[in-house]
Amino acid sequence: MARLPGVEAPEQVVCHVDMDCFYAACERLKEPQLEDEPLVVGMGYEDGEEHGAVATASYEAREYGIESAMAISEALEKLPRRATADDPEDTGVYRPVDMAFYEEVSADVKSVLDEFADTVRNVSIDEAYLDLGDPSWDEVEAIGRELKTDIEEAAGVVASVGIAPSMTTAKLASDADKPDGLVVVEPDEVREFLAPMEVADLHGVGPVTARELREMGFETAGDIAEADEATLVEAFGERGRDIYAQARGEDDREVEPKGRPKSLSSESAFVEAADDTEAKREKVRALADEVAERATAKGALYKTIGIKVVEPPFEVNTRARSLSGPVDAPDLVEGISLDLLEEFEDATVRKLGVRVSNLSFDERDQASLDTWEGDGSEAENARDHDIRERHRERSSGGQASLTDFE
């Protein structure tokens, strides 16, 4: 969908979070004495048995050549089970998968992610993408460190984090410095970051494809990036096109939740911080129009309409109003957004945002606008219902975090 006038195409700041040896990390939560020990978690494995396959191996176990998907019987040949060996220095601990417990820990991690960013795409039990909005790249490393700390404090496990302008590069960045890594790749550093990466490290390139690429003279992502795309397509079909784009850092996908979203929002920054009232109102009108159009296109009704106001340097304020029931009313989105903006009429503003939330896709019977516009009682209650930022009120004067626009 084309963007409306006055709304700039966003420069994405994508964060990829990947929990380090997640199953093994969870087992160490249950048994802290396993810290620093070679630990193998087996899928389809039972204590004392030799069947099943390796689900996760700790980094200590990997030093013995243990790899994911390896048969437990083969793993035991490389790293005998401690209970059956005389020399504990050359043995490891084996545990069966405890998925119920891992899901509990994963829920703790996901609660942190949901508070940290408006848009989260959970890929698996231990992996997710976050859209961090558009903080300056000078702020990104501190944001990543805060996220890692919050995860460890809330869930007791360690994450590696990659932050980049695209989903593909962010994922490669999170892999680049494991364990406990934090790698930030700024927009003008993407090609430089990718260039020395071995072809086998690109996602979707298995051993066979990696060998074929090397036989074609491609040793690194940089080699592929300098090649003719048609050469890759001829050799690998559409997968070759994906490999070529990945090696060049070309990925314009937006982070979107799996399934139906819980909210829809749009934000736009001023080139220079603005205090002109009409300029701010014009920006909010454009954002409101875009958000309402996206909601209509997705068939979404919304019960809450809100704005985000960022004052320099990065003080985040949010205000919202809840309606009596879900609606699809673009004029209402604009009107309420402008009403909420009045509180910031004299403020100098760096960025503005508009959001609709409490989405409904199944209930197509909209709340009647008469129920809250007619006698004024519902409207009065709605006006008084401002949703303040979760962690800081504007009056506190503190710097708000990325959790504030919720």
Same domain for 276 and 231?
Answer: no
Is 127 part of any domain?
no
Of the residues 99, 115, 130, which one is the last residue of a structural domain? 99
User: Hey, what amino acid is at 254?
Assistant: E
Is 212 part of any domain?
yes
> What is the per-residue pLDDT for 259?
67
What are 157-175's pLDDT values in tens digits? 999 999 999 999 999 999 9
Report the C-alpha dihedral over residues 171, 175, 176, 182, rounded to 10 degrees. Answer: 80
Is 291 part of any domain?
yes
Helix 22-30 to helix 99-116 angle (10° resolution) is 110
Cβ–Cβ < 8 Å for 352, 283: yes
**What is the CATH classification number for the domain harbouring 235?**
1.10.150.20
Give the Cα separation of 348 and 312 in Å (integer). Answer: 7
> What is the per-residue pLDDT for 362?
61
Same domain for 280 and 382?
Answer: yes
What are 59-107's pLDDT values in tens digits? 999 999 999 999 999 999 999 998 765 667 789 999 999 998 998 899 8
- Judge whether residue 25 has pLDDT over 90: yes
Q: Which domain holds residue 65?
A: 22-99
Position 403 confidence tier, pLDDT thresholds 50, 70, 90: very low
Give the Cα separation of 62 and 92 in Å (integer). Answer: 11
Is 186 part of any domain?
no
Q: List the catalytic residues.
A: 127
Give the Cα separation of 147 and 395 in Å (integer). Answer: 25
Lowest-confidence segment of 95-109, 126-140, 296-310, 359-373 by average pLDDT:
359-373
What are 181-200's pLDDT values in tens digits? 999 999 999 999 999 999 99
> What is the per-residue pLDDT for 404?
30
Report the C-alpha dihedral over residues 297, 301, 306, 312, rounded to 10 degrees. Answer: -30
Total domains in the chain come to 3
**What is the CATH classification number for the domain harbouring 335?**
3.30.1490.100
What are 326-356's pLDDT values in tens digits? 999 999 999 999 999 999 999 999 889 898 9
Question: DSSP string covering 390-405, please?
Answer: SS--GGG-PPP-TTS-
Is 58 part of any domain?
yes
Q: Average pLDDT in the 205-212 region? A: 91
> What is the per-residue pLDDT for 150?
92
**Mean pLDDT, the chain, integer:** 84
> What is the per-residue pLDDT for 197?
95
Give the Cα separation of 216 and 224 in Å (integer). Answer: 10
Same domain for 335 and 225?
Answer: no
Same domain for 268 and 390?
Answer: yes
Same domain for 28 and 91?
Answer: yes
Give the Cα separation of 121 and 170 in Å (integer). Answer: 13
- Judge whether residue 371 has pLDDT over 60: no
Is 237 part of any domain?
yes
Same domain for 237 and 294?
Answer: no
Is 134 part of any domain?
no
> What is the per-residue pLDDT for 133?
86
- Judge whether residue 378 has pLDDT over 70: no
Share of the chain above pLDDT 90, in %: 60
Same domain for 243 and 268?
Answer: no
Tokens of 33: 């004495």
Same domain for 91 and 208?
Answer: no
**What is the CATH classification number for the domain harbouring 63?**
3.40.1170.60
Q: What is the DSSP letter of 313?
A: T
Cβ–Cβ < 8 Å for 315, 356: no
> What is the per-residue pLDDT for 167?
94
Same domain for 232 and 351?
Answer: no
Q: Average pLDDT in the 51-60 region? A: 95
Burial class (CB in 10 A: 0-12, 13-18, 19+), 139: middle
∠ CA(365), CA(370), CA(375), 5° rounding?
145
- Judge whether residue 299 has pLDDT over 60: yes
Is 162 part of any domain?
no
Of the residues 99, 125, 154, which one is the last residue of a structural domain? 99
Of the residues 84, 99, 114, which one is the last residue of a structural domain? 99
126 φ/ψ angles, rounded to the nearest 5 degrees:
-130, 20
Q: Residue 94: CB partners within 8 Å, gap ≥ 6?
A: 39, 40, 41, 42, 45, 47, 72, 75, 76, 81
Burial class (CB in 10 A: 0-12, 13-18, 19+), 174: buried
User: Could you identify the residue written with the tokens 């939560």?
Assistant: 29
Give the Cα separation of 33 and 323 in Å (integer). Answer: 53
Same domain for 298 and 219?
Answer: no
What are 240-283's pLDDT values in tens digits? 999 999 999 999 888 988 767 677 878 788 888 999 999 999 99
Same domain for 301 and 200?
Answer: no
Same domain for 380 and 299?
Answer: yes
Q: Average pLDDT in the 359-381 region? A: 48
